[in-house]
Amino acid sequence: MDHPLLGIRVLDFTQVLSGPFATMLLADAGADVVKVERPDRGDITRGWGPPFIHGESVYFAAFNRGKRSICLDLTNSEMSDVARRLSLKADVVIENLRMGVMERYGLGPDELLKEHPELIYVSIRSYPNYSSRALDSGLEVVLEAESGLMSITGSGNQAEPTRQGVAVIDMMTGMAVVARIYQALYMRAKTGKGEYLTISLEEISALMMTHPWLMYLQGETVYQASGSRHPNIAPYEVFQTKDQLLLLGAVDDAQFLRLATVLGHPEWAVKSDWTTNEKRVCDRDKLHQAIESQLISEGAEYWHTRFAHAKLPVGIVKSIEAAAEEWRDRQGPKLYAQHPVFGQLAWPVSPWRQQGGNVLAPPTLGNATQTVLSEWLGEQNG
């Protein structure tokens, strides 16, 4: 089914990334997503850049396709009442404001679910509602630091911990939100009742850190920052070839035999200190040197072809420029929109819109205020 959420109305009070990413994916699945924004500035990421194109933020455009925007000043009682009435027409209300803010405007889950028992109300928090830190601010990078993720990112000889190249906790949280909303919609179809859902970045960061935390708690082994290397598998890292870097791995002994055979040294897998993964992990520096001494003789494309033919995990390390241009020029489905400022925009397909095609462009601020008030509330003037 191309649009499983067709007819589902989502009122979106989120900004920055985790919430907008979630509602973008809901829009990909066909939901009618209406983004509620402050009239003076809108989503804070409208000001994030450069790059800007004629004042429009590329960051905002990346995570807000498929939506319509309305402007409501929630500090104004008349406008907060409009938001309340819109909420009563929605299937899903989603917000990521500080705990207590929505209640201040008469838009909290208790109030809305009392009037609209079928509503699915989602709050995204930095910390769980039950936590002593529930009122603390905590952007994604704060959770990277506090969870230990930052301490194991980058190479071990770096002077300071390193943040992820993209906001992975935010994006994982967004996908978890989508999964929970699907679950809630399924339960509503069975019971006729909505529910209040809370998901926090802290809980998602803990879920992501299950492996390194258990390594320490159960095995007293501290996961260290190790660049491209995997802490439990060798080889599984980046190597230098004659011209480019190559990511190459062997996740078991059979794969290592094939890798060694491609390199012309099958004896490594049967007559050396590298016959098991445990031995290879313990001797990974010497193993790395031995493999790289062979790879340096030819270019990355040559080795990529050889290792791929041997059914080994292998990939050429690419720059952002190379990866983006390759995706742009590749045949296959993409998502497209015509934007009044950017012109044609394109995005990779998502699991919720794999067939590609045209979507709504990221909205200019308040682009659909009157239209939404008319469609949802039957009002011609906001």
Cα 138 from chain centre: 17
Name 50's bridge partners.
Answer: none
d(CA 113, CA 184): 14
| CA torsion, ordered 47, 61, 103, 372, to nearest 10 deg | 120
B/e letters for 304-341, b = 16+ CB within 10 Å, e = fewer, are beebeeeebebebbeeeeeeeeeeeeeeeeebebebee
What does the H/E/C string look like for 254-310?
HHHHHHHHHCCCHHHHCCCCCCCHHHHHHCHHHHHHHHHHHHCCCCHHHHHHHHHHC
CA distances from 121 to 104, 125, 143 (A): 16, 13, 24
Among all residues, which ones are annotated catalytic? Answer: 170
